[in-house]
C-alpha cells in the first residue's frame, strides 16, 4: 500500500504526467489536422444553382403533408463570384445556428460541427453555433450550449458524438413540434441542423415544414454507420453514395475480422462467427467482406432473393405454383452455411471466419412475418389501451400468455382473418426462448425492431450445429486427412498405406486430402471395414495408427462468437470520413446562408476522386415514402438496401468461392491496414463505392 506522500510524488512527477496524459501525440496531431476542402469552398462566398437534372417519384402523402418543401429541387453549391451587395450582405449577416446529433453515434460527426463552425465564423465571426445536448431531447427541453472555438477544437477529427452527445427521441407529435418551435424561437435561431439517419432526416423534413412560416431553416445531414442513407433520383443518378461514419465503422470491423482471419489460419481450431452492425441493410457486412475476404459473408438482401429452383420445377410438373419456393427459410440458410463448412473441413480446414449482418433475420421469410405481426399487435395494444405493452407485460411468460389469449379469442370468434392465430402461436412457441424474447423486445422510439439486441448469430448457429450433427452422424461431415500425413503415419507404424487407403477412404485415388468413407462413422464401423477387407481378424484390435487417423477425421465444430457494433461506431474517423464530414459542415453553411430549408447537405461523386466531389443540397421531402412503423403506415425517408445487381455485390458473389477457399492451400484473406492519415483522402475509400463506380458489370 503506498502512502499518500508516495501517491502525491507519483502524481506530481512531470515525466509520469507526460506518459499518462490522455492527450497522446497522435490524438494531438489529429486535432490539429485541417481536412481538405472542396475547391468551391475556397471562394469567398457560394450560391446555390437549382437544377432539374434530377427527378423524383413523389409520394402523394408527402405532397399533402410537406407542401412547403415538396417542390424543393437539387441545389449545386457554386462559387458566387461577384455577388450582388444584397446577397453578400445576407451571406455575412450574423446568425444563430442550432445543431443536434440524432440517433446512434457515427465517426465524423464532430467534423460536421467543425465545418459549420469554421464556415460560419469565416462569413461572420459573431455568428453563434449552439449545440443541443443529448439529442432531440435537448431541443424539446431547451438544453443547449454555445459552442466555443476551444470546445470545437478538442473534438476535431475525433470519433463519437461526445461534444454534445446524442439521443433517439423522435419529434413526432404536435406537442413535440410546438416545444421545438418554442425552443428555436427562445434561442432566436435562424437555422436548425439535424445530423442523423433516415428517421432523423424524416424529423428534419417535418420540422422544416412546421417552422417554414417562422422563417427558421432546417437542414439535414446524412449520418449512420449502417450506410443505408443513400440518395438516388428516380433514374438512379447518385446524389449521395453513402452516409458518413460508414467507412470508419466498416474499417474498424474489418480490422477485427482480419485479425481473426490471421488467428484462425494459425491455429486452425475455431470458426469465428462475427455479427456486424447494420440494423436492416447489409452494407457494412458487404464492405467487411471486401476488406477482409472472410470465408463466408451472409448478405440479407441476397438471401431474401433466394429462389428454390427444385421446388419450382416440382410445382411446375404438377401444374401448380409453389409460393414458398421464393425467399429463404432459416432452416435452408443453415443448410447453405453447413455445406460451406463441410467443404472446408474436407480439405483440412475445420475452421474459418464468417460474417453475419445483425439485420439478416429481417430478410428471412418466417421471421419477417413474426416481426410485422408482433409490431402490429404491440402497436395496436398501445393505441387502444393508451399504455405500454412492455410495462404491462414485463416477463416473457406474461407476453406469451397475452399472445395465447389473442389467438384463442380469434379462434372462438370464428373470424377467418386474424393477426395472431393458433398456428402463429404454435410456431412461435417452437422457437428457442431467447429468440422469442428477442422478437418481443421493446421497439426503439422510431418503431424499429432492435436487431442489435437479438442474438442473431446464436439463432443461425444453433440450427447450423444441429444440422452438422446430422451430417456427422451420416458420415458426410468429415475432416480431410492430408495424404502425406496419412502415409507417413502408416509407414512409421510398419503398415502399407496403399493397402489400407482404399479401405479407409472414399477418394484414395490421387486426392491431396483423404476423406474417410461415409460408412465408417465409429470405431466399431471402422473395425468392421478392416475385418471385411481381411486386414485384421475378428479378435484383433484396430492398429493404433489407423485408429489415430480415424479420430483425426472426426470433426469437432468449435465456434467463437463476436459482435462488432458499438466499438466500430465509436472508432476514430478515417481520413475519408474526416474530409467528407468537414465538407458536409461547409455545405450546411452554404445552404443556410443561401436561404435553403428542408434540404439535406450532401457531397456528390463521393465514389470518385476527391477533386470531383461536389457539394449539393438534396430535397428531403421527395425522398419520403410510406412504411410500416409501430404497426401502422408512416411517412419516412426510404432506407437504401444493398442492391444485388450492384457491381460491389456482384463482385463479392463472384469471389465467394475463392474466399471460401474450400481447396487445399492458403486462404485468400486480405489484410486491411490500420486506419491512418496520409494526407490524401483518395488513398483509402470504401471499396463498395470504388466497385460501384466501375459501372454495370453485365
Q: List residues with catalytic annotation.
A: 226
CB 206 within 8 A of CB 66: yes
The least CB distance from residue 32 to ligand FBP, in Å, is 28
The least CB distance from residue 57 to ligand FBP, in Å, is 24
Contact with ligand FBP (CB under 6 A): which of 247, 251, 344, 569?
A: 569
- Confirm or reject binding of residue 456 to ligand FBP (CB under 6 A): no
Contact with ligand FBP (CB under 6 A): which of 35, 73, 101, 104?
A: 104
Q: Alpha-carbon distance 263 to 294, whole Å?
A: 12
- Confirm or reject binding of residue 277 to ligand FBP (CB under 6 A): yes
Site string for ligand FBP, 496-535 (x = CB under 6 A): ----------------------------------------
Nearer to ligand FBP, 300 or 497 (CB): 300
CB 117 within 8 A of CB 80: no
215 CB-contact burial (10 Å; exposed 0-12 / middle 13-18 / buried 19+) = exposed
Nearer to ligand FBP, 106 or 545 (CB): 106
Nearer to ligand FBP, 224 or 599 (CB): 224
Contact with ligand FBP (CB under 6 A): which of 144, 225, 361, 471?
A: 225
Stretch that binds ligand FBP, among 88-96, 100-108, 253-261, 633-641 (CB under 6 A): 100-108
The least CB distance from residue 456 to ligand FBP, in Å, is 11
For 195, phi and psi rounded to 5 degrees? -100, 110
Stretch that binds ligand FBP, among 65-73, 103-111, 371-379, 672-680 (CB under 6 A): 103-111
Nearer to ligand FBP, 247 or 569 (CB): 569
The least CB distance from residue 91 to ligand FBP, in Å, is 32
User: In the window 339-398, what residues touch ligand FBP (CB under 6 A)?
Assistant: 358
Q: Alpha-carbon distance 516 to 506, whole Å?
A: 6
Nearest to 192 by CA among 120, 91, 96: 96
Strands annotated E in 74-185: 74-79, 96-101, 128-132, 144-146
Site string for ligand FBP, 457-496 (x = CB under 6 A): ----------------------------------------
- Confirm or reject binding of residue 451 to ligand FBP (CB under 6 A): yes
For 217, phi and psi rounded to 5 degrees? -80, 145
Site string for ligand FBP, 185-214 (x = CB under 6 A): ------------x-----------------
User: 131 pairs with which residues across the strands?
Assistant: 99, 145
Sign of CA dihedral 628, 218, 197, 55: positive
The least CB distance from residue 168 to ligand FBP, in Å, is 6
Nearest to 690 by CA among 242, 340, 308: 242
From residue 251, how far is each of 29, 276, 616, 672, 676 by CA, in Å?
A: 21, 12, 26, 8, 11
- Confirm or reject binding of residue 170 to ligand FBP (CB under 6 A): no
Q: Alpha-carbon distance 672 to 687, whole Å?
A: 11
Contact with ligand FBP (CB under 6 A): which of 75, 224, 382, 651?
A: 224
CB 73 within 8 A of CB 50: yes
Q: Alpha-carbon distance 568 to 485, whole Å?
A: 42
Stretch that binds ligand FBP, among 219-227, 390-398, 419-427, 648-656 (CB under 6 A): 219-227
| 3-class DSSP assignment, residue 101 | strand
The least CB distance from residue 491 to ligand FBP, in Å, is 56
Q: Alpha-carbon distance 553 to 547, whole Å?
A: 10
The least CB distance from residue 515 to ligand FBP, in Å, is 41
- Confirm or reject binding of residue 446 to ligand FBP (CB under 6 A): no
Contact with ligand FBP (CB under 6 A): which of 452, 640, 652, 688?
A: 452
The least CB distance from residue 44 to ligand FBP, in Å, is 35
Q: Alpha-carbon distance 527 to 684, whole Å?
A: 58
Contact with ligand FBP (CB under 6 A): which of 48, 77, 97, 106?
A: 106
Q: Alpha-carbon distance 504 to 483, whole Å?
A: 12
Q: Alpha-carbon distance 598 to 618, whole Å?
A: 9
Q: What is the DSSP string of 45-82?
A: -EEEEEE-S------HHHHHHTTTTTT--EEEEEE--S
HSE (CB half, 13 Å, CA atoms) of 491?
A: 7
From residue 431, how far is each of 340, 424, 512 by CA, in Å?
A: 25, 11, 42
Nearer to ligand FBP, 283 or 344 (CB): 283
Report the residue closest to ligand FBP, judged by CB.
103
First-residue to last-residue Cα distance in the chain: 71
| 3-class DSSP assignment, residue 225 | coil
| 3-class DSSP assignment, residue 211 | coil
Stretch that binds ligand FBP, among 101-109, 253-261, 309-317, 325-333 (CB under 6 A): 101-109
Nearer to ligand FBP, 226 or 614 (CB): 226
Contact with ligand FBP (CB under 6 A): which of 59, 128, 210, 226?
A: 226
The least CB distance from residue 452 to ligand FBP, in Å, is 4
CB 326 within 8 A of CB 277: no
Query: Binders of ligand FBP: how many residues, by CB under 6 A?
Result: 16
Nearer to ligand FBP, 210 or 358 (CB): 358
- Confirm or reject binding of residue 278 to ligand FBP (CB under 6 A): yes
Stretch that binds ligand FBP, among 31-39, 276-284, 298-306, 547-555 (CB under 6 A): 276-284
- Confirm or reject binding of residue 134 to ligand FBP (CB under 6 A): no
Binding site for ligand FBP (CB under 6 A): 103-104, 106, 168, 197, 224-226, 277-279, 358, 444, 451-452, 569
Amino acid at each position: 500500500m503506498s502512502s499518500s506522500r508516495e501517491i502525491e510524488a507519483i502524481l506530481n512527477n512531470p515525466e509520469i504526467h507526460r506518459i499518462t496524459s490522455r492527450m497522446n501525440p497522435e490524438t494531438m496531431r489529429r486535432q490539429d489536422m485541417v481536412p481538405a476542402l472542396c475547391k468551391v469552398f475556397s471562394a469567398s462566398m457560394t450560391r446555390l444553382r437549382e437544377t432539374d437534372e434530377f427527378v423524383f417519384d413523389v409520394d402523394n402523402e408527402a405532397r399533402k403533408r410537406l407542401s412547403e418543401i415538396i417542390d424543393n429541387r437539387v441545389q449545386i453549391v457554386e462559387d458566387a463570384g461577384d455577388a450582388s451587395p444584397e446577397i453578400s450582405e445576407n451571406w455575412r449577416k450574423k446568425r444563430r445556428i442550432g445543431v443536434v446529433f440524432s440517433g446512434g453515434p457515427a465517426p465524423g460527426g464532430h467534423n460536421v460541427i467543425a465545418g459549420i463552425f469554421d464556415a460560419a465564423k469565416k462569413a461572420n465571426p459573431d455568428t453563434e453555433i449552439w449545440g443541443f445536448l443529448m439529442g432531440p431531447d435537448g431541443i424539446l427541453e431547451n438544453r443547449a450550449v454555445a459552442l466555443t472555438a476551444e470546445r470545437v477544437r478538442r473534438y476535431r477529427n475525433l470519433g463519437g458524438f461526445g461534444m454534445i452527445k446524442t439521443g433517439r427521441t423522435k419529434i413526432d407529435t404536435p406537442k413535440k413540434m410546438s416545444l421545438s418551435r418554442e425552443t428555436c424561437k427562445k434561442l432566436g435561431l435562424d437555422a436548425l441542423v439535424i445530423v442523423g439517419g433516415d428517421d432523423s432526416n424524416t424529423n428534419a423534413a417535418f420540422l422544416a415544414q412546421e417552422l417554414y412560416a417562422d422563417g427558421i431553416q432546417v437542414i439535414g445531414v446524412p449520418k449512420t454507420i449502417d450506410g443505408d442513407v443513400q440518395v438516388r433520383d428516380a433514374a438512379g443518378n447518385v446524389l449521395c453514395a453513402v452516409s458518413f461514419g460508414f467507412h470508419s465503422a466498416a474499417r474498424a470491423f474489418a480490422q477485427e475480422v482480419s485479425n481473426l482471419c490471421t488467428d484462425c489460419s494459425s491455429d486452425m481450431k475455431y470458426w469465428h462467427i462475427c455479427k456486424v452492425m447494420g440494423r436492416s441493410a447489409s452494407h457494412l457486412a458487404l464492405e467487411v467482406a471486401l476488406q477482409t475476404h472472410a470465408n463466408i459473408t451472409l448478405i440479407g438482401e441476397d438471401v431474401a432473393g433466394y429462389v428454390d429452383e427444385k421446388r419450382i420445377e416440382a410445382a411446375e410438373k404438377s401444374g401448380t405454383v409453389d409460393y414458398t419456393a421464393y425467399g429463404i427459410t432459416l432452416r435452408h440458410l443453415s443448410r447453405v452455411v453447413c455445406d460451406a463448412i463441410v467443404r472446408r473441413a474436407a480439405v483440412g480446414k475445420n475452421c474459418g471466419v464468417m460474417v453475419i449482418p445483425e439485420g439478416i433475420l429481417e430478410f428471412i421469410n418466417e421471421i419477417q412475418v413474426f416481426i410485422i405481426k408482433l409490431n402490429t399487435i404491440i402497436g395496436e395494444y398501445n393505441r387502444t389501451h393508451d399504455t405500454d405493452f412492455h410495462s404491462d407485460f414485463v416477463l416473457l411468460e406474461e407476453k406469451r400468455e397475452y399472445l395465447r389469449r389473442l389467438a384463442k379469442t380469434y379462434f372462438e370468434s370464428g373470424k377467418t382473418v386474424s393477426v395472431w392465430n393458433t398456428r402463429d402461436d404454435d410456431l412461435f412457441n417452437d422457437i428457442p426462448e431467447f429468440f422469442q424474447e428477442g422478437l418481443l423486445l421493446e421497439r426503439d422510439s422510431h418503431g424499429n425492431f432492435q436487431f442489435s439486441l437479438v442474438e442473431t448469430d446464436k439463432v443461425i448457429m444453433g440450427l447450423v450445429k444441429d444440422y452438422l450433427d446430422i451430417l456427422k452422424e451420416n458420415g458426410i461431415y468429415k475432416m480431410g486427412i492430408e495424404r502425406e500425413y496419412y502415409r507417413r503415419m502408416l509407414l512409421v507404424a510398419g503398415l502399407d498405406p496403399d493397402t489400407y487407403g482404399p479401405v479407409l477412404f472414399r477418394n484414395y485415388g490421387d486426392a491431396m486430402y483423404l476423406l474417410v468413407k461415409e460408412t465408417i462413422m465409429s470405431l466399431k464401423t471402422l473395425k468392421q471395414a478392416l475385418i471385411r477387407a481381411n486386414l485384421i481378424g475378428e479378435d484383433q484390435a484396430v492398429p493404433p495408427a489407423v485408429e489415430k487417423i480415424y479420430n483425426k477425421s472426426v470433426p469437432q465444430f468449435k465456434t467463437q462468437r463476436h459482435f462488432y457494433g458499438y466499438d466500430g461506431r465509436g472508432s476514430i474517423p478515417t481520413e475519408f470520413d474526416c474530409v467528407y464530414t468537414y465538407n458536409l459542415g461547409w455545405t450546411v453553411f452554404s445552404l443556410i446562408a443561401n436561404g435553403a430549408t428542408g434540404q439535406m447537405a450532401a457531397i456528390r461523386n463521393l465514389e470518385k476522386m476527391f477533386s470531383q466531389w461536389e457539394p449539393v443540397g438534396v430535397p428531403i421531402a421527395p425522398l419520403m415514402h410510406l412504411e410500416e412503423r409501430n404497426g401502422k403506415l408512416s411517412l419516412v425517408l426510404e432506407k437504401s438496401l444493398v442492391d444485388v445487381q450492384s457491381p460491389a455485390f456482384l463482385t463479392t458473389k463472384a469471389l465467394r468461392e475463392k474466399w471460401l477457399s474450400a481447396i487445399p492451400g492458403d486462404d485468400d484473406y486480405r489484410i486491411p491496414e490500420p486506419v491512418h492519415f496520409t494526407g490524401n483522402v483518395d488513398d483509402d475509400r470504401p471499396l463498395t463505392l470504388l466497385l460501384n463506380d466501375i459501372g454495370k458489370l453485365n
